Amino acid sequence: MNEDKTTHFGYQEVPVAEKARHVGSVFDSVADRYDLMNDLMSAGMHRLWKRRAIAQAMLSKGQDVLDLAGGTGDLARLALDKVGDDGHVVLSDINAAMLQRGRDRFINEGIDSQASYVRCDAEFLPFPDGSFDRVTIGFGLRNVTNKDRALAEMRRVLRPGGRAIILEFSHVQVAALRPFYDLYSFRVMPIMGKLIVDDPDSYRYLAESIRVHPDAQTLSNMMENAGFEDCGYNLLTAGVVAIHHGWVY
């Protein structure tokens, strides 16, 4: 992608250099009630999806984990339980408001000493090569402007034997369900966004961003092109979400 071209922001086309700002405004708007909206929109299913993702990370005691686009810290919190006192988790996000929510949560739970907090862009990670045993990202890759570059960075910071886990919305596989999923996404979610956070546009963007995100097989191919090996994915909830994995050898 040339930097003078445009990219998707939902169904809109915006200059590449401006997408991060647009995405940032979305999460600034919803940060205070982000967790509540996740529970309501998914009927709590997002918690099950995240637990499945961490299970597929195959974490062990003492490992170092980088959680990208970690927001309020759901995946990082689950990872901390797996790596134990001798392990370490870096909670990172490009959005300061979201990262602050995650840090506050860890402080309130008394586990902040086991974690670090880094505000960074997934496309330009401020870590040396081979810094981590695992990299996770949950529902964040579709908001990244240059996904290929972000995948390459994830590959770069993993040690040999490391694994990347990507939890992301995908494409519904059951044709009969698609009209109902579209109705819920484009009509119900913006109404909920209006009622709960007074921001229907951010949740309309959410629905649109899912539709323009690569399908599961395309994303798996992108991981292979970035240098990951033994890539694969599992579709959950009729394909609403996918958990992708790739190894570094």
Say if residues 99 and 92 touch (Cβ distance below 8 Å). Answer: yes
What are the phi and psi torsion angles at 42 (to 5°)? -105, 5
3-state class (DSSP) for residue 249: coil
Q: How far apart are CA 148 and CA 152, in angstroms?
A: 6
**What is the side-by-side strand order in the sheet with 88-93?**
115-119, 88-93, 64-68, 132-138, 158-169, 241-247, 229-236
Burial 153-169 (b: 16+ CB within 10 A, else e): bbbbbbeeebbbbbbbb
Q: Is 121 annotated among the ligand-binding residues?
A: yes
**Which 8-state DSSP code applies to residue 144?**
-
Say if residues 131 and 157 touch (Cβ distance below 8 Å). Answer: yes
Q: What is the 3-state secondary structure (H, E, C) of 47-112?
A: HHHHHHHHHHHCCCCCCEEEEECCCCCHHHHHHHHHHCCCCEEEEEECCHHHHHHHHHHHHHCCCH
Q: Which residues are documented as binding site for S-adenosyl-L-methionine?
A: 72, 93, 121-122
Q: Which residues are documented as binding site?
A: 72, 93, 121-122
